[in-house]
Structure 1
Amino acid sequence: MTHKLTLQEIEKFSQNFNKNPEHHVIARAAQKNGVLAASYNDRVQSKLTRVFSTELDTDNVTNQKHSGRCWLFATLNVLRHEFGKKYKTKNFTFSQAYNFFWDKIERANIFYNNIIETADKPLDSREVKAHLDFAGADGGQFHMAASLVEKYGVVPSYAMPETFNTNDTTGFSNALKDKLKKDALILRKLIQDGKTAEAEDLRTKFLNDVYRMTAIAVGEPPKHFDLEYRDDDKNYHLDKNLTPLEFFHKYLSGVDLNDYVVLTNAPDHEYNKLYGLPSEDNVEGQYRIKLLNVPMEYLTQASIAQLKDGEAVWFGNDVLRQMDRQTGYLDTNLYKLDDLFQVDLKMSKEDRLKTGAGEVSHAMTLVGVDEDNGDIRQWKVENSWGEKSGAKGYFVMSNDWFNDYVYEVVVHKKYLTEEQKKLAEGPITDLPAWDSLA
């Protein structure tokens, strides 16, 4: 059933708006200050106190700047806190540029794999289009970072510092996207013409091109480095000529990334089921992206248990919802847009996912929680937006926001129920690239 908007209807809309003088007062405030400032609820600050009953000993924060590397920052933040706790150096940081370099090479390789495997499908098919849309992207998941760490290790931030192109990936990312998409057309044509051997040779050449591009933009990763630092007690430490993998296995020997499970809360999917996102896997032969879908209470329980054991928690969320970057407040009642516009904007988590209104747009790190006789008051969040956001880089999140806008937490499998441990082992139900969890 279609409807043609008439001028008479529009005139009626205008009359309805103008007959209420309050509408003009509200409109002036919104137009002068913006709808978020006009709807800002300053009462939120009275309950988000930044005092936590459980809190990790952390200090400085990292800054991803103008890049989509939050998933990598959050993973390395969890690891650096583990390193800091073990070796009494809480401000030690790992190089995000190092693992970012390898992600570009590995992601290009798996992109070419996907393009070759789907060469028999139309260019405008949903699957091929999804692979093309993901070309050169920065965004990612926990298992993508875990795969890079397992294969290539980690290095201190001084061993491979940030560059202009890691702090602002726009230019390099656009060039890489164009390169990969052009290559895709060539590889598809060769496969379609039955020239498989030629396509394989050309894939190697293309990967060499990508390596050169990344080395120019980011710099080549170190093969060896000297670990040198002072701990919090001012003691000096030096360990010379380490490889990145030697460093990881020697200094983070207690961390087995295979022991961690991504719990997701996606009410638009069946609970107690393990899902995979093969379209977003980034390293061939390493970890697959796996999400165990469970009710929200299990994300909460496991996160608190891990925090109480002194370990940070990676979590995926929709950070642009009900968030103030300056104060670092995350609260479902932060902006009263319903009151401002006099409409009902509330949607369930399930409906937000179904319609695309909800998504995992960011990853951060839980480093504290505040409980009161079993009731959760708030959470302490370490972001990767530098010290000028929030309270020196730390955000405070209400438990309502946690329930509404957190979709994933990464926890050790020991915090799962026995049934969940079995489910986490498989089988995996693969989801398409256009799924709400992708």
Structure 2
Amino acid sequence: MTDQSLTSGLLDQFAAEFAADKTARIVQNAVTETSIKKVAMDREIVTSIDPSMSVRVDKWPNANQKKSGRCWLFAGLNSLKAAVYEETGLEKFEFSQNFLHFWDKLEKSNYFLSTMIELADRDVDDRTIHYLLSDPVSDGGQWNMFVALIEKYGVVPKYAMPETESSSNTALMNQTLGNLLRRGARDVRAAANAAAVKKDIMREVYRVLCIHLGTPPREFVWQWEGKDREFHRAGTFTPIQFAAKYLPALEDYVCLVNDPRETSPYNNLFTVDRLGNVVGARPVTYLNVPISVIREATQSTLEAGDPVWMGCDTSKQCDRDLGIWDGKLFDYEGTYGIDLEMTKAEELQYGQAQMTHAMVFTGVDILDGATRRWRVENSWGDQIADKGFFTMNDSWFDQHVFEVAIRRDRLPEELLPILETEPLVLPAWDPMGSLA
């Protein structure tokens, strides 16, 4: 077998080559004193971007998920709140993200323990078991999981279940829940009466969640002052009644993804093994389509006046403070003098990309029928970007946008029958099962 070790001779060669490269030494001087992002940023791209859009639907201020991974809940609720503004005349309104966060944690815990019972005959080192144990109750989620929560629990205004320290900073709560659920996995796998053991564990999970997040309301009084300061009281609502009053029919929405790997052929319905939060809910499914279908459906939805929930790999080619994305915002290849090029399919195959964040498309700039850039409502607060709204150049869209939730009537008719087919199943650890 060929010697694969790093020999002293090889290391001497590397050092000599670097020392002889004047450009590399200049870049070294720069990067050792300042951030690589500042050195590699293309200023021409930065100065060419402005946040104005030919189509813009947002009429509300930005929200802030703070130190939590609830972006998918923020994005989902942000994409659906327009009806409240239109009917009430409120200048500022938020649904309670904490309310859905509570039920998501509880449901995920039940989903996890139910799965541990179902797979109790497998060894604890089985790849699926090991993967699920790595993060039993993540903050993240996907569109179908968001829908499952609303269909079961409804929604409430933020004042009915406000933020807590732990909803905005979830690390310590998650640490306790992870400990409790891993202990629970051990116990249900060994129990003669696993259902009874699970019930006791879920009682403890509920207790922990109430301590950290508060107790979810069963009903609340809905009242407000409109822009004219006229007082309105609509009466007492349950969360389900409130959802029925203000939210669209969520069963009309379809999740589209762009996964260009040859192993995931376009125009097929997919699901991911063991992906979900609510036991008994409709499975998490998505229709894999070319990125052009996602672009056209998103554009037409915005032109019709509706925002669009989306999932992407947000950290790539992004400046958080300026609030911009561009496919070539940072010239890392030129700065380092190396080749980093990979296709979208290759990035998925080799662990370089997955959906990491959910946000809302609220605008698009169109010139001569073609999209130029996009307006995106983030949930990182209003102190960055355009008061929390980011600008995405079209060059970023193809490579880093993975998922959108779109009404069925925005899809090409030939794709609709596919939604009724049996989904192909990807393994639990597939990158398309990642939680935003």
The reply to whether TM is greater than 0.5 is yes
Q: Amino acid of the residue matched to residue 79 of structure 2?
A: V
Give how far 1:85 is off. 3.3
CA deviations 1:238-281 (Å, max 9, x no partner) are 122211111111233xx111110111000012111100124221
Q: TM-score, normalised by structure 1?
A: 0.96
* Counterpart residue identity of residue 428, structure 1: P
CA contact (8 A) 2:375 2:389 kept: yes
- Gap runs ≥5 in structure 1: none
Q: SS state of the match for residue 371, structure 2?
A: strand
Write the letter of the residue equivalent to 2:333. D
Structure 1 residue corresponding to 2:422, chosen from 413, 423, 427: 427
> Does the residue aligned with 1:279 lie in a helix, a strand or coil?
coil
SS class of match (1:79):
coil
Q: RMSD across aligned C-alpha pairs, in angstroms?
A: 1.3
Residue 154 of structure 1 aligns with an amino acid whose one-letter code is V
* 2:201 match: 206
Q: In structure 2, what is the Cα distance between the partners aligned to 1:119 and 1:226?
A: 45
Q: Distance in 1 between matches of 2:54 and 2:182?
A: 50
Alignment of 1:181-192 (within 5 A): 181-190=182-191
Please name the residue that 1:280 is paired with. 275
Given that 2:355 and 2:431 are in contact with CA atoms closer than 8 Å, whether structure 1 keeps it comes out as no
Unmatched segments (≥5 aa) in structure 2? none
Aligned residue identity for 1:118: L
Cα deviations by residue, 1:129-178 (Å, 9 ceiling, x for unpaired): 12212312111101111111111000001111100000000000010000
1:417 aligns with 2:412: yes
**Residue 359 (str. 1) matches residue 354 (str. 2):** yes
Show structure 1 runs of 4+ deviating over 4 A: none
Seen in structure 2, the aligned counterparts of structure 1 residues 82 and 424 have a Cα distance that, compared at 3 Å, is farther
Q: Is the 8 A contact 1:276 1:429 kept in 2?
A: yes
Is 2:432 the partner of 1:437?
A: yes
Q: Counterpart of 1:119?
A: 120
Aligned-pair distance for 1:312?
0.6
Question: Structure 2 residue aligned with 1:297, among 277, 292, 295?
Answer: 292
Structure 2: distance between partners of 1:64 and 1:251 = 22
The alignment status of 1:56 with 2:49, answered yes or no, reads no
Query: In the aligned structure 1, how far is the partner of 2:149 from the partner of 2:4?
Result: 53
SS of residue in 1 equivalent to 2:81: helix
CA contact (8 A) 1:81 1:90 kept: no
Structure 1 residues 89-128: Cα deviation after superposition (integer angstroms, max 9, x where no partner) = 3521100000000011111111111000100111011111
Moved more, 93-102 or 48-57: 48-57
Q: CA deviation at 1:86?
A: 4.1
Q: Which has the larger displacement, 224-233 or 424-433?
A: 224-233
**Structure 1 residues 233 and 306: alpha-carbon distance in aligned structure 2, compared to 1, 3 A threshold:** farther
1:112-191 matches, within 5 Å, as 112-190=113-191
What amino acid is aligned across from residue 36 of structure 1 in structure 2? Answer: K
How far off is 1:236 after superposition? Answer: 2.6
Q: Are 2:105 and 1:104 equivalent residues in the alignment? A: yes
Q: Aligned residue for 1:91?
A: 92
Residues 1:18 and 2:19 are matched in the alignment: yes
1:280 is paired with a residue whose SS is coil
**What is the alpha-carbon distance in structure 2 between the residues aligned to residue 57 and residue 70 of structure 1?**
18
Contact 1:48/1:397 (8 A) holds in 2: no
Deviations 1:173-221 (A, max 9, x none): 010000000110111112xxxx2xx211111111111101100110000
Mapped partners of 1:179, 1:85: distance in 2: 44
Indicate yes or no: 2:255 matched with 1:262. Answer: yes
- CA distance, structure 2, for counterparts of residue 117 and residue 18 of structure 1: 59
- Is residue 270–residue 423 contact of structure 2 (8 Å, CA) maintained in 1? yes
Distance 2:184 2:414 in 1: 45
Distance 2:42 2:296 in 1: 29
Identity %: 35
Report SS of the residue matched to 1:214: helix
Q: Output the CA distance in 1 between the equivalents of 2:197 and 2:395.
A: 52
- For residue 249 of structure 2, what is the amino acid of its counterpart? D
Distance 1:134 1:422, change over 3 A: farther
The code of the aligned residue for 1:93 comes to: E
CA distance in 1, matches of 2:426, 2:231: 50
1:250 maps to amino acid: K
The letter of the residue matching 2:257 is T
Q: Deviation at 1:233?
A: 4.2
Helix, strand or coil at the partner of 1:33: coil
* Pairwise CA distance, 1:47: 2.7
In structure 2, the partner of 1:323 is 318
Match of 1:369 among 355, 364, 367: 364
Task: Tell me by how many angstroms 1:18 deviates.
Answer: 1.0
Indicate the SS of the match to 1:208.
helix
1:285, 1:118 → 2: CA distance? Answer: 17
Q: How far apart are the structure 2 equivalents of 1:231 and 1:108?
A: 40
SS of 1:64 mapped into structure 2: coil
Q: Is the 8 A contact 2:24 2:336 kept in 1?
A: no
Q: CA deviation at 1:418?
A: 1.6
Aligned-residue offset at 1:2: 4.8
- What is the CA-CA distance between 1:424 and the residue it aligns to? 1.6
- Tell me the amino acid that sits aligned with residue 41 of structure 2: Y
Kept in 2, the 8 Å contact 1:278–1:289? The answer is no
How far apart in 1 are the matches of 2:21 and 2:189?
A: 61
Amino acid at match of 1:88: G
The offset of 1:430, in angstroms, is: 1.8
1:22 Cα shift? Answer: 2.2
